[in-house]
């Protein structure tokens, strides 16, 4: 007997509503459409729907329509007869035949061609289809659960998706909430992924996240949702490399180069040179004392003053400090390491 190998984690009200909706739909033997952004867990939702339904003892087949060309998808879904195309030398039983009595999950449904949409519509309406290159009409009993992250209603209006098929697929629609609508679930999800990664890294335990790291997790918008969070947590743990101290740095974007110089906006206001004497300003001591310091020393001291002042203004919060200075988080961390300001080891 098959069981889902992954669990849906979270207790937020938005997620609870979606899960309750799935539970209500499970025993109703109709096609269901699951809509959600990338990384929101549409496949896990389909698994939950299947294993809570009366078909739970039968097979759950999954097909990603976007990952297969139109010709191959036709054969993969409906099967083919010998001689249907070059290389077809035996009967191939498609996913609908293999899912007979169970559930077929069609992911990325919006990429399916109009021709296959028509064949799918006939199967939903009558339970009938023919294998590619075949003449015999076959019947199956399959519950279809489809998923997409595109606006199928808009596609139907534009003639890119069959309206009659959309009607048949959408007996009801389950909307999965993006992670930004589930802030209360972020900590639980992050800890779950971190503990899993600790096992993979053969660490004895997970020491947790520092306050700075946790703030980074909570402040990010997570456009890639749960998949992005999982990647960020796993990446951050292995880069941190110290199983005995809390993770202090969250690596959100591995494509950011530490060698890319910060873009500094030069002042456009003309500098006025005053000839009358002024009382020396301690904050400008570095600039005025050019006779005793080299250019490199002046820049070095100036960077330290700017970093120290900005950190103080932002109460030590490195994320806000980086933003106020127009730097990326990793650029700021590199400068802090360079000048040995604060705790930056293992970064």
- Give the model confidence (pLDDT) of 240-268 as tens digits: 999 999 999 999 999 988 776 555 454 44
Q: What secondary structure letter does DSSP report for 272?
A: P
Confidence of residue 292 (pLDDT cuts 50, 70, 90): low
- 80-89, 138-147, 279-288, 300-309: least confidently modelled range: 279-288
Q: Which of 108, 107, 134, 102 is nearest to 119 (CA)?
A: 134
Pairwise CA distance, residues 265 & 262, whole Å = 10
- The number of residues in the chain equals 347
Report in angstroms the alpha-carbon separations of 270 from 276, 279, 287: 18, 22, 17
Pairwise CA distance, residues 233 & 258, whole Å = 19
Residue 223 has pLDDT above 60, yes or no: yes
**Angle (CA) 27 32 38, round 5°:** 125
Position with higher pLDDT, 184 vs 300: 184
DSSP secondary structure string for all residues of 84-113:
SSTT--S-B--HHHHTTTSEEEEESGGG--
Q: What is the pLDDT of residue 291?
A: 54
Q: What is the pLDDT of residue 254?
A: 92
Position with higher pLDDT, 262 vs 317: 317
Backbone angles phi, psi at 32, to 5 degrees: -130, 140
Backbone angles phi, psi at 132, to 5 degrees: -60, 125
Compute the chain's Rg from CA coordinates.
Answer: 29
Question: Could you tell me the end-to-end alpha-carbon distance of the chain, in angstroms, rounded to an integer?
Answer: 46
What does the pLDDT average to over 279-298? 56
pLDDT digits (tens, 9 = 90+) for 37-67: 999 999 999 999 999 999 999 999 999 999 9
Helix (H, G, I), strand (E, B) or coil at 202: coil
| Sequence-separated (6 or more) residues with CB below 8 Å from residue 179 | 39, 40, 185, 186, 189, 222, 225, 226, 229
> Can you read off the two tokens belonging to residue 34?
């699951």
For the chain, give the percent of residues with pLDDT over 70.
86
> Can you read off the two tokens belonging to residue 272?
């006025």
Confidence of residue 85 (pLDDT cuts 50, 70, 90): confident
pLDDT digits (tens, 9 = 90+) for 330-345: 778 778 877 877 654 4
Q: What is the pLDDT of residue 313?
A: 85
pLDDT digits (tens, 9 = 90+) for 264-283: 454 444 434 344 444 445 45
Predicted TM-score of the model (pTM): 0.72
> Contact at 8 Å (CB) between 240 and 197?
no
Mean pLDDT for all residues in the chain:
86
Q: On the CB side of 55, how many CA atoms lie within 13 Å of its CA? A: 26
Task: Give the H or E element holding residue 127.
Answer: none
Q: What is the pLDDT of residue 282?
A: 44
Question: What is the residue whose two structure tokens read 């990647």?
Answer: 231
> Can you read off the two tokens belonging to residue 98?
């293999």
Burial class of residue 167 (count of CB atoms within 10 Å of its CB; 0-12, 13-18, 19+): exposed
pLDDT digits (tens, 9 = 90+) for 157-192: 999 999 999 999 999 999 999 999 999 999 999 999
Residue 298 has pLDDT above 80, yes or no: no
| Sequence-separated (6 or more) residues with CB below 8 Å from residue 311 | 318, 321, 341, 342
Q: What is the pLDDT of residue 266?
A: 46
């Amino acid at each position: 007997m098959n069981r889902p190998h992954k669990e849906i984690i979270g207790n937020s009200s938005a997620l609870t509503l979606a899960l309750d909706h799935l539970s209500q739909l499970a025993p109703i033997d109709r096609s269901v459409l699951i809509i959600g952004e990338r990384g929101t867990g549409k496949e896990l939702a389909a698994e939950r729907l299947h294993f809570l339904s009366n078909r739970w003892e039968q097979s759950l087949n999954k097909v990603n329509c976007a990952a297969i060309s139109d010709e191959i998808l036709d054969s993969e879904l409906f099967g083919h007869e010998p001689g249907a195309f070059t290389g077809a030398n035996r009967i191939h039983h498609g996913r609908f035949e293999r899912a007979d009595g169970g559930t077929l999950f069609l992911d990325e449904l919006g990429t399916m061609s109009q021709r296959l949409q028509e064949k799918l519509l006939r199967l939903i309406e009558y339970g009938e289809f023919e294998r590619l290159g075949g003449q015999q009409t076959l019947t199956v009993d399959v519950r279809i659960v489809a998923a997409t992250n595109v606006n199928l209603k808009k596609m139907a209006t534009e003639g890119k998706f069959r309206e009659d098929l959309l009607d048949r697929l959408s007996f009801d629609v389950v909307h999965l909430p993006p992670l930004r609508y589930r802030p209360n679930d972020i900590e639980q999800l992050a800890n779950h992924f971190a503990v899993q990664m600790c096992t993979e890294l053969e660490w004895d335990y997970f020491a947790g996240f520092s306050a700075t790291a946790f703030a980074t997790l909570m402040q990010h918008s997570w456009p890639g949702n749960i998949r992005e969070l999982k990647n960020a947590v796993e990446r951050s743990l292995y880069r941190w490399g110290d199983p005995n101290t809390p993770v202090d740095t969250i690596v959100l974007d591995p494509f950011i180069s530490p060698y890319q110089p910060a873009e500094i906006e030069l002042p456009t206001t003309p500098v006025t040179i005053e000839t009358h004497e002024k009382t020396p300003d301690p904050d400008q001591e570095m600039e005025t004392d050019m006779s005793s310091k080299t250019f490199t020393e002046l820049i070095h001291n100036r960077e330290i003053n700017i970093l120290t002042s900005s950190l103080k203004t932002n109460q030590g919060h490195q994320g806000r400090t980086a933003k106020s200075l127009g730097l990326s988080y990793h650029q700021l961390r590199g400068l802090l390491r360079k000048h040995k300001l604060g705790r930056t080891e293992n970064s």
